[in-house]
């Protein structure tokens, strides 16, 4: 059996090695148009910033090491330019010599990946404009930084690549502005959670221009002007385009393979395309979303590796299936860690799912153990069924392990209430006896049992200030003086029973505290005295972060908090 693989990196290289492990006699040929067969794609931004100092560390395998270990023939700087399915041949161009030749195959695996989206904009061919996909792209950007010594950079796009490059350029002493057409960074996160990411970016000197689409470029002397809707031109030394990626589908399209979303390659659960004996994996393929069951594009290294292994199994006569992607991801943003899995609240609503959520701010480990830090968790679930839909966590230590627990729970089809029963490891340096994941489950159980009703950030503007409802802040007088929501009166939770007469029992009570715990206790006290109560999800800390961020994006001072500019946190 002869297997030809188009493209290396995550999907193609994984498949090649797996095929060899399953079939020692197979002839395996890999064509890669770049100069690198297997490299640390996700590590590329960190070479630009000097965090990874040796460029050789980016290379996981070379053609020589791949051949020595697996007896796989790897031809870099070779671009496959055509497929003839009936004849089972591919046409290949040697990019160094220009030679064009044909290669026969019994099985063909396509792993072309995705290319950076390049809008057709005036001036976009400038040598001061860069994209980041390959090792060669990384070297070009690093060389430009080392040689030209730019003082400023504009990054168009606020996803994973945009933020990671921004952080690394800041580390090189470069002033960075991020332009983003959406009014938030990091689309996997809901806007309220993204506000915490925005705050961290601004804290480290990144200028955020959100809600502005790039419209063109113009070179001016040694600089370049970036034009965008709704804002003045930005004069900068270099531009990184990280607007997004689009499936690399030219080969598949020309060969008549069935295409799906944004021209992606349609495959079945065995990673087979619509044409017999041709498989496809990685960022170029359309997959089923594990949570929604709908066709999706999820360009992440983890799914690509798994797909490569599954395709290899089936090429070798196995019966492996890919059960879908759920988009589990994590990113370092300066001192913060931000992670998500499943779908966001916004995505759930876009998919017509009636959902609910809890927001909590637990410590990463026992509060009495030194070094504890707060994380913010948002868990999204379906109303009625309590199906676990997704989660987002932003914080410091311990974010990664909690998101992985939640990702596993989704994959295991646990309900959101089941989170309370998970038996998770505990010791004071690592967690609390009630782990944050368990706490989310307890909160959701309280909602299911009718013990808690919630109100959210988006409800605040509509809350009446005419006395028709009780607005209650249960923090200490000192916390309240440091900033509070307009119209809320202050009764600390420990004084509440003695001061019930200050509230009108005939009217509902909307309660808030710093994190959501004291306000929950207050609602239970009040319910015991016959009040109808609503607890704020996330606490004042979360409310303040979201509203400040929205005001900065909209450039307004009407943030719904008394004397916002003069109050100290």
Residue 38 has pLDDT above 80, yes or no: no
DSSP structural state of residue 387: B
If we measure between CA atoms, which residue out of 402, 363, 395, 413 comes closest to residue 379?
Answer: 402
CA distances from 206 to 89, 167, 170 (A): 50, 9, 8
Report pLDDT for 301: 87
Residues 6+ apart with CB under 8 A from 24: none
Contacts 24+ apart (CB under 8 A), 548-554: 548/195, 548/199, 549/194, 549/195, 549/198, 549/199, 550/195, 552/198, 552/202, 552/208, 553/183, 553/198, 553/208, 553/210, 553/211
Q: What mean pLDDT is predicted for residues 232-254?
A: 93
Judge whether 42 counts as a catalytic residue: yes
Q: How confident is the model at residue 559 (pLDDT cuts 50, 70, 90)?
A: low
Could you identify the residue written with the tokens 């809320």? 488
If we measure between CA atoms, which residue out of 279, 285, 351 comes closest to residue 18?
Answer: 279
154-181 pLDDT, tens digit per residue, is 999 999 999 999 999 999 999 999 999 9
3-state secondary structure 150-164: CCEEEEECCCHHHHH
If we measure between CA atoms, which residue out of 543, 537, 188 comes closest to residue 344?
Answer: 188
Report pLDDT for 313: 98
Residues 6+ apart with CB under 8 A from 314: 270, 271, 272, 279, 320
SS3 state of residue 270: coil
SS3 state of residue 427: coil
Residue 120 has pLDDT above 90, yes or no: no
Q: Residue 525 in contact with residue 496, Cβ under 8 Å?
A: yes
Q: What mean pLDDT is predicted for residues 25-34?
A: 95
Q: Residue 223 in contact with residue 234, Cβ under 8 Å?
A: no
Residues 6+ apart with CB under 8 A from 517: 539
DSSP structural state of residue 264: P
User: How many other CB atoms sit within 10 Å of the CB of residue 166?
Assistant: 30
Q: What mean pLDDT is predicted for residues 543-569?
A: 68
Q: What gap in Å lies between CA 281 and CA 109, rounded to an integer?
A: 8
CA 486 to chain centre: 33
Q: Which of 42, 355, 533, 551 is catalytic?
A: 42
Label the pairing between strands 245-247 and 114-116.
antiparallel
Q: What mean pLDDT is predicted for residues 277-300?
A: 95
- Say which range, 29-43, 137-151, 467-481, has the weakest mean pLDDT: 29-43
Q: What gap in Å lies between CA 283 and CA 278, rounded to an integer?
A: 16
Q: Residue 42 in contact with residue 330, Cβ under 8 Å?
A: no
193-220 pLDDT, tens digit per residue, is 999 999 999 999 999 999 999 999 999 8
- Give the largest CA-CA distance in the chain: 89
Single pTM value for the model:
0.93
Q: How confident is the model at residue 569 (pLDDT cuts 50, 70, 90)?
A: very low
Q: What mean pLDDT is predicted for residues 78-82?
A: 97
CA distances from 73 to 27, 64, 195, 277 (A): 8, 9, 48, 20
If we measure between CA atoms, which residue out of 243, 44, 244 comes closest to residue 141?
Answer: 44
Buried b (16+ CB within 10 A) or exposed e, 327-336: bbbebebbeb
Report pLDDT for 562: 46
């Amino acid at each position: 059996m002869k297997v030809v693989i188009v493209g290396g990196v995550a999907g193609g290289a994984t498949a090649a090695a797996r095929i060899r492990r399953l079939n020692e006699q197979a002839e395996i040929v890999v064509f890669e148009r770049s100069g690198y067969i297997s490299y640390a794609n996700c590590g590329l931004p960190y070479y630009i910033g000097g965090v990874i100092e040796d460029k050789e560390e980016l290379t996981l395998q070379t053609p020589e090491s791949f051949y020595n270990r697996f007896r796989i023939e790897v031809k870099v700087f070779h671009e496959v330019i055509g497929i003839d399915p009936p004849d089972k041949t591919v046409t290949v161009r040697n990019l160094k010599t220009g030679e064009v030749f044909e290669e026969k195959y019994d099985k063909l695996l396509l792993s072309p990946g995705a290319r950076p989206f390049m809008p057709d904009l005036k001036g976009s061919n400038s040598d001061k404009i860069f994209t980041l996909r390959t090792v060669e792209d990384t070297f070009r950007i690093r060389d430009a930084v080392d040689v030209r010594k730019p003082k400023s950079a504009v990054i168009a796009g606020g996803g994973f690549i945009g933020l990671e490059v921004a952080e690394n350029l800041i580390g090189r002493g470069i002033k960075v502005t991020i332009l983003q057409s959406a009014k938030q960074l990091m689309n996997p996160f809901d806007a309220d959670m993204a506000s915490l990411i925005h705050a961290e970016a601004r804290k480290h000197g990144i200028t955020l221009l959100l809600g502005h689409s790039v419209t063109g470029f113009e070179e001016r002397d040694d600089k370049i002007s970036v034009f965008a809707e709704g804002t003045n031109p930005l004069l900068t030394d270099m531009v990184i385009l990280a607007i997004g990626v689009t499936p690399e589908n030219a080969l598949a399209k020309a060969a008549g393979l069935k295409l799906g979303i944004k021209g992606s390659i349609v495959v079945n659960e065995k990673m087979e395309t619509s044409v017999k004996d041709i498989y496809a994996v990685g960022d170029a393929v359309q997959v089923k979303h594990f949570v929604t069951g709908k066709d999706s594009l999820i360009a992440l290294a983890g799914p690509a590796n798994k797909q490569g292994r599954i395709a290899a199994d089936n090429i070798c006569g196995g019966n492996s299936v890919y059960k879908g992607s759920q988009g589990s991801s994590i990113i370092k943003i300066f001192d913060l860690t931000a992670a998500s899995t499943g779908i966001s609240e916004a995505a759930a609503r876009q998919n017509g799912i009636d959902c609910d959520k809890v927001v909590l701010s637990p410590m990463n480990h026992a509060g009495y153990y030194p070094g504890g830090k707060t994380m913010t968790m948002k868990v999204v679930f379906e109303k009625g069924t309590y199906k676990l839909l997704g989660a987002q966590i932003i914080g410091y230590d311990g974010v990664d392990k909690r998101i992985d627990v939640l990702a596993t729970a989704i994959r295991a089809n646990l309900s959101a209430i089941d989170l309370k029963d998970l038996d998770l490891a505990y010791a004071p340096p690592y967690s609390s006896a009630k782990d944050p994941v368990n706490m989310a489950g307890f909160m959701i159980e309280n909602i299911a049992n009718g013990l808690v009703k919630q109100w959210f950030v988006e409800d605040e503007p509509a809350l009446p200030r005419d006395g028709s409802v009780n607005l209650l802040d249960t923090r200490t007088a000192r916390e309240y003086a440091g900033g509070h929501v307009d119209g809320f009166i202050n009764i600390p939770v420990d004084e509440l029973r003695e001061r019930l007469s200050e509230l009108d029992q005939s009217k509902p009570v909307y309660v808030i505290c710093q994190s959501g715990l004291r306000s929950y206790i207050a609602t239970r006290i009040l319910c015991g005295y016959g009040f109808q109560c609503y607890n704020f999800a996330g606490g004042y800390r979360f409310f303040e972060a979201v509203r400040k961020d929205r005001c900065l994006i909209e450039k307004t001072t009407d943030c719904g908090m008394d004397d916002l500019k003069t109050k100290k946190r």
